């Protein structure tokens, strides 16, 4: 695959935000794994006082390695090379074109001043000589946990679409901070691509290692990076087995999952049209939020 400028071994910035864009903590889980594997350190950060409502995104008190308790404030920071990788085994080193220049932006979605927030972070990306941006997201979807979790890749940049073979999203409606960053980055001349993983809505309360794996796999496919998974494969199988156990105790849930499996298998069939697949993804997008909507035959129990 031929990669456009920014995705051919250039300095990439991988972006993930907690909250609305991060079902199953999949996007931030993938970004944090990258940061650990590369030993990234903070090189730029926003002032949380300017952008966050602390009654909505409350600070936390944590104990450090020295036993001293300190306040951690919500915010957003760009992480770049400069530290020691956190590896359980030597072979867990992240490699591939551009690995040494990979940056990560992690944060919480701001409560206000989105334009100024985005402008500050895009300026920091330009100062770090970022050539391309990959935005990671995860959405609640009608996706069966027993099948590979789909990842939809899109870009507003014609060169990126042509070179990476991704689509242009036709979604219209409310958006999160990822869409605003993508828009402003493109205006500043930094090409972007967005990756959205589908997370089964009926297990939305728990982190989804299977969705993290799906995002990492798509990131590898588009960039040529080689990203060791560590214990993620084992965690993903344990997660799937745990959902299987829940379904085994709930006939309505099991029947609903069977319906999702049938629908997914139909979309994945060789005869399925591109239009049918696109429509399925548009349904996923419109389900984004805090929980399931509509008149499905099964819903997660309260409590």
Tell me how far apart the alpha carbons of residues 100 and 102 are, in angstroms, rounded to a whole number.
6
Strands across the sheet containing 132-141: 41-45, 76-80, 103-108, 12-18, 132-141, 192-200, 151-154
Q: Three-state DSSP class for 9?
A: coil
Closest to 30 (Cα-Cα) out of 42, 18, 48:
18
pLDDT at residue 11, rounded to an integer: 93
244-264 in b/e burial notation, b at 16+ Cβ within 10 A? Answer: eeebeeeeebeebbeebeeeb
Q: What is the pLDDT of residues 14-41, one digit of tens each?
A: 999 998 899 999 999 999 999 999 999 9
pLDDT of residue 303: 32
Residue 53 pLDDT more than 90?
Answer: yes
Q: Is the pLDDT of residue 101 over 90?
A: yes
User: What does the DSSP assignment read for 112-126?
Assistant: S-HHHHHHHHHHHHH
| Residue 189 region by backbone torsions, left for phi larger than 0, else alpha for psi between -120 and 50, else beta | left
Per-residue confidence (pLDDT) for residue 295, from 0 to 100: 31
* Close Cβ partners of 274 (under 8 Å, ≥ 6 residues apart): none
């Amino acid at each position: 695959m031929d990669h456009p400028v920014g995705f051919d071994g250039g300095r990439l910035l991988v972006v993930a935000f907690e909250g609305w864009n991060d079902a199953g903590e999949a996007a931030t889980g993938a970004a944090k794994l990258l940061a650990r594997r590369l030993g990234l350190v903070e090189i730029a950060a926003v002032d949380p006082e300017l952008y966050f409502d602390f009654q909505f995104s409350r600070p936390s008190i944590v104990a450090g390695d020295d036993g001293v308790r300190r306040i951690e404030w919500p915010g957003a920071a760009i992480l770049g090379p400069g530290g020691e990788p956190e590896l359980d085994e030597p072979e867990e080193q992240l490699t591939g074109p551009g690995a040494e220049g990979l940056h990560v932006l992690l944060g919480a979605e701001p409560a206000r001043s989105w334009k100024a927030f985005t402008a500050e972070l895009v300026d920091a990306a330009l100062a770090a000589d970022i050539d391309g941006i990959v935005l990671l997201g995860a959405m609640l979807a009608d996706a069966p946990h027993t099948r590979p979790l789909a990842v939809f890749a899109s870009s507003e940049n014609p060169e990126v679409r042509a070179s990476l073979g991704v689509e242009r999203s036709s979604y219209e409606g409310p958006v999160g901070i990822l869409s605003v960053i993508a828009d402003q980055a493109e205006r500043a001349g930094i090409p972007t691509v967005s990756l959205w993983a589908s997370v089964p809505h009926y297990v939305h309360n728990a982190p989804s290692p299977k969705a993290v794996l799906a995002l990492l796999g798509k990131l590898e496919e588009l960039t040529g990076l080689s990203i060791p998974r560590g214990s993620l494969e084992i965690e993903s199988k344990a997660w799937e087995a745990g959902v299987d156990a829940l379904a085994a105790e709930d006939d309505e849930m099991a029947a609903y999952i069977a319906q999702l499996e049938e629908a997914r298998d139909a979309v994945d069939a060789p005869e399925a049209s591109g239009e049918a697949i696109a429509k399925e993804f548009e349904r996923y997008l419109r389900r984004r939020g805090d929980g399931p909507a509509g008149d499905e035959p099964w819903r997660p129990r309260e409590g």
